Amino acid sequence: MSNAMADTLQGWGRRCQVTGLKVHSEAEKLIKVNAVVAVVAFLVGVIAAIGLVLTRWQAVHLLPADWYYRLMTVHGMNMLIFFILFFEMAVLYFAGPVLLNCRVPAPKVGWLAFGLMVLGAVMVDVVIFAGKADVLFTSYVPLRAHPLFYLGVILFAVGAILVTCLFFASLVVAKREQTYEGSVPLVTFGALTAAIIAAITLLHGAAIYIPTFLWSLNIIPIDPELYRVVWWGLGHSSQQINVAAMVSVWYLLGGLTVGAVVLNEKISRSAFSLYVLFISMASAHHLLVDPGLGPAWKVWNTSYAMYLAVLASMIHGFTVPAGIEMGQRLRGLVKGRFEWLRKAPWGDPGFSGMFLSLVIFGFFGGITGVTSGTEQINIIAHNTLRIPGHFHVTVVGGTALAFMAVTYYVLPLIFQRKVALWGLAKIQPYLFGVGIVIMAMSMTFAGSFGVPRRHWDITFAGAATSVEFHPMVDMLMGTMAIGGLLAAIGALAYIAIAVLSVFFGQKVDWSRVGDGGAGIPQGVAKLPKQAHTGAAVEQVHQAGTPGTMVLVGVFLTVFVLYYFVNWKMLSMVWKIG
């Protein structure tokens, strides 16, 4: 680690001063540009989000109807597609070439892909802001957008599929050039499953956006129900890329921050494989109360073939905290059930963001998602605020927060800059995480009162007949807005930190990095031991992870309660069938 500047691998790249990994300069550049554009898309999405919460908060009701729906479209596309996929492209360049010590196989293709994705994203945003695509993220046919909207999405998807192919190629190159020994690391394996799901997802995307593009030019007809089925093959599966990428990031950050270990490679890898096999079936979650599909199809698909993908998430929900607990115990924090958790580095945003992401995704997101994705319970959830309430704790409190957390390690390790505004960075994951949870839980409860999602005015002023919502709803829409604004402050803080670090940040002085200090996360200052051997290890392994057993016990209890309370609520409404 101390052979600082001598080891620059001239003309090829550099050796990471912390992990010892070889970093190909093309990989480094591609990670940088994709991450930067991801943050730009994120900023656009955050600004739209502020407009949305201030409009749904009826006391403020900021935007006119057309701009509300327009910014809803902007928010969906920029957050769920552009921000998250650009970031995932960076994750693929990291988990492939960097972790495997190899080169980017065809960097020119990487740059071409990046260009296509930027072009596609810009086209889509320009068309939406011009008011030519007020169709929301789902763009259900026969709502009609300008053809360039669909073409922009297609270009973006082609770029993303090229990067996915590059990732697969880097696995082949690394194997052939023997840049690593044994099997690929678990993080790379997880990224591989994300890439496979991405390939499946993007094929669905092609299967729906190309015909829809032709439909928008009046060349072919499209069946509205068929559109919904195939579109959700893209729409939901793309969220499963996020799940696999996020879980990989949890494992990565666990290792970097506290030396978390993999309890059992077989279990964790099998769980990732279950994602690949079953997770695409989740498109059914959106079609449970649709007229085009029968009960057998719905039951089989919504449960990912008997909940095997849920099983996968429940496994990771155990192995990730258990790996952290075991890592901490190996570092000597062995007292009681929870010393490992109490004495975790809560001031390191890489750790706190990762752990909050794990709790928010699993506890809030997982429980609400499985429940409202149950065929019959969906009757009392479909298209109410319960749905965005659910996915804001999976994809935002889960994936986006995990990506923020890893950013605090990417800044020093890849950009080689100290994290700017370090004091703010330390509290940023809490601001964002707590805000999102308040917002999403308010949405979930408001949705249980029947409040619709994607709705400009639930006072129904000017409508044929009035609707009086339960008085609780007013309060919940208020707390939703307060949570949303808190999360927006957290999001803007993240953007400010990222931009200031990248463009104006202090260079990391590798000879003095061990001193730590402001802007250097503790895992970068002193990387925890990544491998353990010997009898002591066996002893700790035998002692197990008693703290995590308690955590998952609490989780399961709440899960069972919430699930059956919903069946009870369902049983009280009109008989219907």
Region from 155-163, 417-425, 482-490, 528-536 binding other proteins, contact rule CB under 8 A: 528-536
Segment contacting other proteins by CB under 8 A, of 102-110, 111-119, 135-143, 513-521: 135-143
The residue among 108 and 468 lying less far from other proteins, judged by its C-beta, is 468
**DSSP track, 91-154:** HHHIIIIITTT---S-HHHHHHHHHHHHHHHHHHHHHHHTTS--STTT--TTS---HHHHHHHH
Buried/exposed code over 27-38 (b: 16+ C-beta within 10 A; e: otherwise): bbbbbbbbbbbb
Q: Kindly state whether residue 339 participates in binding other proteins, applying the rule CB under 8 A.
A: no
Tell me the site size for other proteins, rule CB under 8 A.
119
Angle between helical axes of 25-56 and 107-129 (0-180°, round to 10): 20
Closest C-alpha to 242, from 467, 369, 399: 399
CB of 518 to other proteins, least distance (A): 26
Applying CB under 8 A, among 180, 338, 430, 510 the residue interacting with other proteins is: 180
Please identify, among the stretches 8-16, 340-348, 495-503, 545-553, the one whose residues bind other proteins according to the rule CB under 8 A.
545-553
Cα 556 to Cα 362, 550, 553, 559: the distances in Å are: 11, 10, 5, 5
Cα radius of gyration (the chain): 23
Where in 385-444 is the site for other proteins (CB under 8 A)? none
CB 306 → other proteins: shortest distance, Å? Answer: 5
Q: From 43-51, 66-74, 347-355, 500-508, give the range in contact with other proteins by CB under 8 A.
A: 66-74
Q: Give the nearest distance from C-beta 372 to other proteins in angstroms.
A: 11
Shortest gap between Cβ of 244 and other proteins (angstroms)?
13
> Which 455-514 residues touch other proteins, going by CB under 8 A?
455-458, 460, 462-467, 470
Least separation, in Å, of the C-beta of 302 and other proteins?
A: 8
3-state secondary structure 186-201: HHHHHHHHHHHHHHHH
- 384 counts as binding other proteins under rule CB under 8 A: yes
Asked if residue 528 lies in contact with residue 259, where contact means CB atoms within 8 angstroms, the answer is yes
> Which class for 103: exposed (0-12), middle (13-18), buried (19 or more C-beta within 10 A)?
buried
Structure tokens belonging to residue 43 = 């900023």
Positions 351 through 370 that interact with other proteins (CB under 8 A): 370
Is it true that the peptide bond before 142 is cis, omega within 30 degrees of 0?
Answer: yes
Task: Yes or no: say if 448 and 389 are a contact pair by the CB < 8 Å rule.
Answer: no
Q: According to the binding rule CB under 8 A, does residue 1 interact with other proteins?
A: no
Reading the block at residue 130, the tokens are 């011009």
- Please pick, from the candidates 24, 382, 417, 426, the single residue that binds other proteins as defined by CB under 8 A: 382
Q: How far is the CB of 574 from other proteins (least distance, A)?
A: 5
Out of 11, 182, 423, 471, the only residue in the binding site for other proteins (CB under 8 A) is 182
Length of the chain: 577
Cβ nearer to other proteins, comparing 305 with 518 = 305
Three-state secondary-structure class, residue 47:
helix
Asked if 323 interacts with other proteins (CB under 8 A), we say yes
Report the residue number, 106 or 290, with the smaller CB distance to other proteins: 290
Instruction: By CB under 8 A, name the one of 79, 448, 501, 520 that touches other proteins.
Output: 448
The dihedral through the CA atoms of 373, 379, 380, 381 has a sign that is positive
What does the block give as tokens for 467? 């609707």
In the complex, minimum distance from the CB of residue 264 to other proteins, in angstroms, rounded to a whole number: 5
* Min dist. Cβ of residue 283 to other proteins (A): 14
250-to-258, 346, 363, 419, 542 alpha-carbon distances in Å: 12, 15, 15, 20, 24
What whole-number distance in Å separates Cα of residue 416 and Cα of residue 422?
Answer: 15
Residues 137-166 touching other proteins, rule: CB under 8 A, are: 138, 140, 142-143
Comparison of 58 and 479: residue with beta carbon closer to other proteins: 58
Q: H-helix or E-strand containing 349?
A: helix 349-359
Stretch that binds other proteins, among 42-50, 260-268, 336-344, 350-358 (CB under 8 A): 260-268
Site for other proteins in 215-234 (CB under 8 A): 223-225, 228
Of 119 and 299, which CB lies nearer to other proteins in the complex structure? 299
Q: Compare residues 157 and 458 and give the one whose CB is closer to other proteins.
A: 458
- Shortest distance in whole angstroms from residue 412 CB to other proteins: 16
Part of the chain binding other proteins (CB under 8 A), chosen from 110-118, 179-187, 211-219, 503-511:
179-187
Residue 486 burial (C-beta neighbours within 10 Å; 0-12, 13-18, 19+): buried
- Give the nearer residue to other proteins in terms of CB position, either 225 or 474: 225
Residue 248 CB, shortest distance to other proteins, in Å, is: 8
Supply the minimum distance, in Å, between the C-beta of residue 524 and other proteins.
Answer: 14
Give 11 or 468: the residue with its C-beta nearer to other proteins: 468
The amino acid occupying position 545 is T
The yes or no reply on residue 251 touching other proteins (CB under 8 A) is yes
x/- binding map, residues 184-213, to other proteins, per CB under 8 A? xxxx--x-----------------------
To other proteins, the closest distance from the beta carbon of 325 in angstroms equals 10
Nearer to other proteins, 15 or 454 (CB): 454
**Stretch 3-42 residues interacting with other proteins (CB under 8 A):** 19
CA 291 to CA 310: how far, in whole Å?
A: 26
Among candidates 333, 340, 330, which has minimal Cα distance to 532?
330
Question: Footprint of other proteins on residues 261-320 (CB under 8 A)?
Answer: 261-268, 287-295, 298-299, 302-303, 306-308, 310-311, 314-315, 318-319
- In angstroms, rounded to a whole number, what is the distance separating the alpha carbons of residues 438 and 389? 10
* Three-state SS at 416: coil
- 365: helix, coil or strand? helix
CB of 488 to other proteins, least distance (A): 23
Q: Are 519 and 418 in contact (CB under 8 A)?
A: yes
CB of 544 to other proteins, least distance (A): 5
